[in-house]
Amino acid sequence: MSQKVRVRFAPSPTGPLHIGGVRTALFNYLFAKKNGGDFILRIEDTDQNRYVDGAEKYIVDALNWCNIPFDEGPSKEGKFGPYRQSERKHLYKKYADELIQKGLAYYAFDTAEKLDFHRKDHESKGKTFIYNWHNRLKLDNSLSLSDDEINKKLNDGVPYVIRFKTPQDQKLQLTDIIRGNIEIDTNILDDKVLYKSDGMPTYHLANIVDDHLMEITHVIRGEEWLPSLALHQQLYDAFEWQAPQFAHLPLIMKPVGKGKLSKRDGEKLGFPVFPLSWNESVGYKETGYFPEAVVNFLALLGWNPGTEQEIFSLEELINEFSLERVNKSGARFDPDKTKWYNQHYLQHADVKTVADSFLNILSSKEVLPQLLETTYIEQVVTLIKERAVFIGDLWGLGDYFFVAPQSYNEKAVKKQWKAGTPDIMQQVFEVIESISDFTSENVEAIVKNWIGEKELSFGKVMPPLRLIIVGDMKGPHLFDIIALIGKAESLERIKKAIATL
């Protein structure tokens, strides 16, 4: 009997979704869709202190922008809801109690201060304080206390937590789809808190209970969870539940230096780390990235198809994706590669769509209304988009199609504007004025012919002419520009330059 694949993305709403989180969501989504399964969003808000307003909405918006919507989640309630752990609070206590009854967990009354003291004390001696089999009988809990004492504390309302009683001297055999088999000695594990004194479960308990209740078949999450896999497996065993399969994704590392990618790296090196803007941090969307490009480069971060293909649509990714081809080692984040992807998507985007977005930018500039015409913009886009990575680059690349140069690049003027230049430009003016068939090819032919006749060099004519038309030594084929902006505008720019330079 094969079960329907159900995976979940379970972020905690403590801030904006980091790009690494988006990748985790994406891999879950791809795996689910590849296998005809469901992708569930569950909000893990068991830590009330760290809750950030708006973070949940951000997560949902980010997923939608990336085009990886969830099938079930907050506001898309399926039969397994609610999908916020804070709204499932009442569910967890009985599971913690069940473990206590089975003798697999116990009450602990140690105060935070006391534990803190132990930890600091051990640290100062170069050791690590571990709450487990070797010292639990010396601490303040229902294993070390008499029944009377325990009941009195419980009745008196003394705060307590419930800890998992990690068994001694066991070798756990764990399986991870990406990493294979892992063996863990239970003696090095600590008795993790399952239930907090504020009446909320910890991540560990809530996670296992919810994954079980929501019939999750595969847990795909970041590598930072690998060390707690042992606990989770034991919890499934303790409840006598069938555990899902696990896959731990490699971490995304910073572009330079050591460690995992952080918000700071983005600020330092000037690239986004969030899909959408959040306060001062500009997102991928606002920087001008296509969601398709973001999804594409994210997919190749820690996964590859085994072929040389690097460009994938979402559909292709769904087809090709497999957890077996996910890498074991950390994936270094390369901002240049993300640009490369975006440039690719921009070059292959429909000209109409690009022109449309460009129009939005143009509207905010001081451009003559008659130039904001669709076919004109599309022609401009076709000429200049080759060098653009983002749609936002288009203005800097082609402003001269919309406004005459207000100034001329000084260095270029120095180099190109010689004593005889105004005279030559005056002649060019006359040549151009006489042309009636104003196509790029025809203008080029006539001007080049004239240069030949006059025995002038290209270097004396073309660079200054470009300077006049563009204001700088940049842009596509000059005659394409002249033809597009038209005869009248070209003549005007020449006239103006002769007068001012």
Partner RNA sequence: GCUCCAUUAGCAUAGUGGCUAGUGCAUCCGACUUUCUAUCGGAAGACAAGGGUUCGAUUCCCUUAUGGAGUACCA
Q: Which residues are catalytic?
A: 263
What is the closest distance, in whole angstroms, from the C-beta atom of residue 289 to RNA in the complex? 16
**Interaction between residue 439 and RNA (CB under 7 A):** no
Say whether residue 308 binds RNA (CB under 7 A): yes
Rg (CA), the chain: 33
Our CA angle for 467, 468, 470, nearest 5°, is: 65
Q: Which two tokens stand for residue 234?
A: 């034991």
Closest to RNA by CB, 75 or 327: 327
Measured CA to CA, the distance from residue 271 to residue 341 in angstroms comes to: 14
Burial-class residue 234 by CB neighbours within 10 Å (0-12, 13-18, 19+): buried
Question: Quick check: 273 and 281 in contact, CB under 8 A?
Answer: yes
Binding residue (CB under 7 A) for RNA from 141, 166, 202, 490: 202
Considering the complex, state which of residue 151 and residue 347 has its C-beta at the smaller distance from RNA. 347
| CB closer to RNA out of 115 and 372 | 115
Nearer to RNA, 203 or 278 (CB): 203
Tell me if 115 contacts RNA by CB under 7 A. Answer: yes
What SS3 class is residue 142? Answer: coil
3-state secondary structure of 105: strand
Going residue by residue from 336 to 375, which x/- string records binding to RNA, judged by CB under 7 A? xx--x--x--------------------------------
Handedness of CA 387, 391, 392, 398 (dihedral sign): positive
**Residue 390 interacts with RNA (CB under 7 A)?**
no
Q: Is 323 in the site for RNA (CB under 7 A)?
A: no
Binding mask 224-253 for RNA (x = CB under 7 A): xxxxx---------------------xx-x
CA distances to 205, 232, 476 from 235, in Å? 8, 5, 65
Please report whether residue 74 would count as binding RNA according to CB under 7 A. no
Positions 471 through 490 that interact with RNA (CB under 7 A): 473-479
In angstroms, rounded to a whole number, what is the distance separating the alpha carbons of residues 219 and 224?
13
Rounded Cα gap, residues 397 and 348, in angstroms:
18
Asked if residues 324 and 350 have their Cβ atoms less than 8 Å apart, the reply is no
260 binds RNA (CB under 7 A): yes
What is the SS3 assignment for 415?
Answer: helix
Q: CB of residue 116 vs RNA: minimum separation in angstroms?
A: 8
Structure token digits, residue 378: 């599309």
Determine which residue in the list 67, 75, 77, 112 makes contact with RNA, applying CB under 7 A: 112
Residue 118 as a binder of RNA (CB under 7 A): the answer is: no
Q: Does 387 bind RNA (CB under 7 A)?
A: yes
Q: Check binding of 20 to RNA (CB under 7 A).
A: no
Separation of alpha carbons 218 and 34, rounded Å:
13
Q: Which is nearer to RNA, 69 or 199 (CB)?
A: 199
- Rounded Cα distance between 117 and 37, Å, is 48
Binding to RNA (CB under 7 A) within 164-193 occurs at 179-180, 182-185, 188, 190, 193
Minimum distance from residue 94 beta carbon to RNA (Å): 18
Q: Does 458 bind RNA (CB under 7 A)?
A: yes
Nearer to RNA, 286 or 334 (CB): 334
